[in-house]
Amino acid sequence: MLKDSQDAFGHAVHDYFEEGLQMRRPFETIEREDGFVDTDRLDGYFREFREWLPAERHAMRFARGRVLDIGSGAGRHALYLQGRGLDVLAVDNSPLALEVCRRRGVRNTALRSISGLDSSLGIFDTVLMLGQNFGLLQSHEGARRLLRRLARITSDRGRIITDTNDIYATTLPEHLAYQRMNIDRGRMAGQVRIRVRYKKYTTPWFDYLQVSKVEMEEILGPTDWSVERFLDSGPVYVAILKKRPKL
């Protein structure tokens, strides 16, 4: 799990939860390994359902049964589904983010990284990986390995609701150059290596995977999962994945 000095995201959402609109600098910093730096506003982690992207709102219709919310952040998805009467377990590797979840009313939480998910958590009917959390699968082979893990902790009617950014929908030279560098290194074009910074807190470097629809379907090929449908909201799209029937 993240040490306090590494919990940049947790400290950011905790400060926003405490300070809200009074917060002086309401964003976190995303640093890529090639030196590219971007910022992400923190208010997005606290948006009400009516403020979500249309595809994200539509995706909530596909949640059913017991739900595992991976990378739950400040808990907006867990809170919405919990309000609909579903049994939701919010998991994150950020202790402070989970504290925010609990203080906002999320009833069930667990401090876990995605690689630490196992049968001790029980069996789930729906897995949420929203907030572009398909990226947590990290790499081509990492995605297949973790999708196999998710198959073991989901029911026969298991479903994954996830989203990602189609990294090819850009014309920015710095992004295109980074994609070429990745390909030259034998990595997927959208396998970015980043870290999150906030005030004096910095996460370790980690891989984060962004893929096109074609690439997602190719990754799913030999796994227990297939695409049921795609829901679009511009370059960011939602994928509803269903578990293949056992032969």
pLDDT tens track, the chain, 247 positions: 789 999 999 999 999 999 976 777 789 999 999 999 999 999 999 999 999 999 999 999 999 999 999 999 999 999 999 999 999 999 999 999 999 999 999 999 999 999 999 999 999 999 999 999 999 999 999 999 999 999 999 999 999 999 999 999 999 999 999 999 999 999 999 999 999 999 999 999 999 999 999 999 999 999 999 999 999 877 899 999 999 987 6
Contacts of 111 (CB under 8 A, 6+ apart): 1, 91, 92, 93, 95, 98
Contacts of 44 (CB under 8 A, 6+ apart): none
- Residue with the two structure tokens 């030196």: 35
Architecture in CATH for domain 63-193+205-242: 3-Layer(aba) Sandwich (3.40)
pTM value? Answer: 0.95
CB contact at 8 A, 153 and 123: yes
CB contact at 8 A, 13 and 97: yes
| Angle at CA of residue 106, ends 224 and 228, nearest 5° | 25
